[in-house]
């Protein structure tokens, strides 16, 4: 070995064997592993073996905390102390039609709370907040830290892309997990989400952890475990953290896509919109404002009297967007109608999410573009009485050739039953609170 070469503290193969054999990794081992992987000393195939060992054998609370802190230490940490007001953020684990960030951020910011909403793009059947907002002409996702700070100070809220300097180890590790079948490992999900949120510098965080057909984790028990793990991580790091377990068995709202979800969000800010979107927006806003010291804030009034809409228009303009501009409209549509009288008893979220993706609303690879006008507009929800020939949902796309595969996706995903037949909606929208 030449003098220029450094001596590594550990051998990665020993660490892989240890986790393979269901042993705990020490704090020093985890710190070294994350650092060595970030700087390229640990090879991709070695880290792939480690992530699979973690997927199969898990980690205890101390190991997950150490992994999260090591990923935070791989990059910069933001600090909003100079704002002079409390900061509170929200993170959703994603689903079908989940546009809640769009009306939620301006609603909470209306009460003098800073909302630094660092968001991502869609991959697969789950939509991305940045993709939705880029439907607005001129809107800009990438801001410098100084621009973000100024917007939080002046307008109270921001939705933007996380900078590359924030937990870079997580960005590298997530890309690896995505291609090695280890995305669903709870220690890896929790440390991925919380490393970015803690590094972001918010003082409080509300988690929207979804379960059901269209969720990342379909089983409520697994979603509960994830919520508990992330709440513990946040509170251990000094970030006041709570979580709501929310139902994703049916699509959220009536719009699935990008531009159409922006339209639906604006309806909510105007005092209307689908009941489930309004209800979840209000529930999360109350949770965020409680953590920010305003448990009695009248969020319904801020939606009804236009204050939240005013904040929305200001923050869109601050990022170069035109809140009055027309949103994209697809060149082609295809409407599916009811084949009989009865009650819509089933509308399975995952197939509708896949259908929207196939129409062009999502991407198969991170570098793929999205078609902002593509998507699905639901014209009936589970529990609604329908008549034969009544429109149930409309597919929108710029290329009509996409309709056939989208229709294949939703075949068997919806069903009309007889009056009195149980509705398969998975129960209440908000199942429980974890604190």
| Residues with catalytic function | 91, 170, 177, 192, 196
CB 282 within 8 A of CB 298: no
The secondary structure element, H or E, covering residue 317 is: helix 307-318
CB 70 within 8 A of CB 35: yes
Q: Put residue 94 in one of left, alpha, beta given phi > 0 → left and psi -120 to 50 → alpha.
A: left
Other residues' Cβ atoms within 10 Å of the Cβ of residue 179: 10
For 253-284, the DSSP string reads SSEEESHHHHHHHHHHHTT-S-HHHHHHHHHH
Q: Is 57 helix (H, G, I), strand (E, B) or coil?
A: helix
CB 67 within 8 A of CB 182: no
Burial class, 252, CB count within 10 angstroms (exposed 0-12 / middle 13-18 / buried 19+): buried
Instruction: Write the CA distances from 372 to 25, 120, 126, 292, 362, integer angstroms.
Output: 45, 16, 14, 34, 9
User: Rounded to an integer, what distance in angstroms lies between the CA atom of residue 270 and that of residue 107?
Assistant: 11
Q: Is 346 helix (H, G, I), strand (E, B) or coil?
A: strand
User: Rounded to an integer, what distance in angstroms lies between the CA atom of residue 301 and that of residue 310?
Assistant: 13
User: Rounded to an integer, what distance in angstroms lies between the CA atom of residue 92 and that of residue 304?
Assistant: 25
Q: Which residues contact 422 (CB under 8 A, 6 or more apart)?
A: 345
Other residues' Cβ atoms within 10 Å of the Cβ of residue 390: 15
């Amino acid at each position: 070995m030449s003098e220029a070469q450094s001596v590594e503290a550990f051998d990665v193969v020993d660490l892989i064997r240890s986790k393979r054999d269901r042993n705990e990794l020490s704090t020093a081992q985890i710190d070294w592993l994350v650092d060595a992987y970030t700087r390229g000393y640990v090879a991709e195939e070695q880290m792939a073996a480690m992530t699979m060992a973690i997927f199969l054998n898990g980690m205890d609370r101390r190991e997950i905390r150490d992994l999260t802190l090591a990923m935070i230490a791989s990059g910069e940490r933001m600090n909003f102390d100079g704002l002079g007001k409390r900061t509170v953020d929200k993170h959703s684990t994603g689903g079908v039609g989940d546009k809640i960030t769009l009306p939620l951020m301006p609603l909470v910011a209306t009460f003098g709370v800073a909302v630094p909403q660092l968001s991502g793009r869609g991959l697969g059947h789950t939509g991305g907040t940045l993709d939705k907002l880029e439907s607005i002409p001129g809107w800009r996702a990438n801001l410098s830290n100084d621009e973000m700070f100024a917007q939080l100070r002046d307008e109270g809220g921001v939705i933007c892309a996380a900078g590359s300097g924030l937990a870079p180890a997580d960005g590298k590790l997530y890309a690896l997990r995505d291609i090695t079948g280890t995305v669903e490992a709870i220690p890896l999900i929790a440390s991925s989400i919380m490393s970015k949120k803690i590094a972001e510098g918010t003082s409080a965080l509300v988690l929207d952890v979804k379960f059901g057909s269209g969720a990342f984790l379909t089983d409520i028990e697994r979603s509960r475990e994830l919520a508990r793990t992330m709440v513990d991580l946040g509170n251990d790091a000094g970030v006041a953290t709570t979580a709501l377990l929310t139902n994703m068995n049916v699509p959220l709202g009536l719009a699935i896509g990008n531009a159409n979800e922006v339209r639906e969000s604006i309806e909510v800010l105007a005092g209307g919109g689908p009941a489930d979107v309004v209800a979840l927006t209000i529930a999360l806003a109350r949770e965020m404002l409680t953590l920010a010291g305003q448990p009695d804030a009248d969020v319904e009034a801020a939606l009804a009297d236009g204050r939240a809409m005013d904040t929305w228009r200001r923050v869109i303009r601050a990022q170069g967007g035109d809140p009055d501009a027309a949103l994209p409209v697809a060149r082609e549509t295809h409407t599916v109608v009811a084949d009989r009288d009865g009650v819509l008893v089933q509308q399975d979220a995952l197939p509708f999410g896949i259908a929207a993706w196939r129409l062009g609303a999502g991407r198969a690879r991170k570098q793929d573009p999205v078609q902002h006008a593509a998507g699905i507009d639901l014209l009936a929800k589970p529990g609604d009485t329908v008549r034969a020939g009544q429109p149930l949902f409309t597919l929108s796309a710029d290329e009509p050739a996409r309709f056939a595969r989208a229709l294949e996706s939703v075949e068997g995903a919806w069903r009309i039953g007889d009056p009195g037949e149980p509705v398969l909606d998975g129960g209440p929208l908000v199942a429980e609170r974890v604190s």
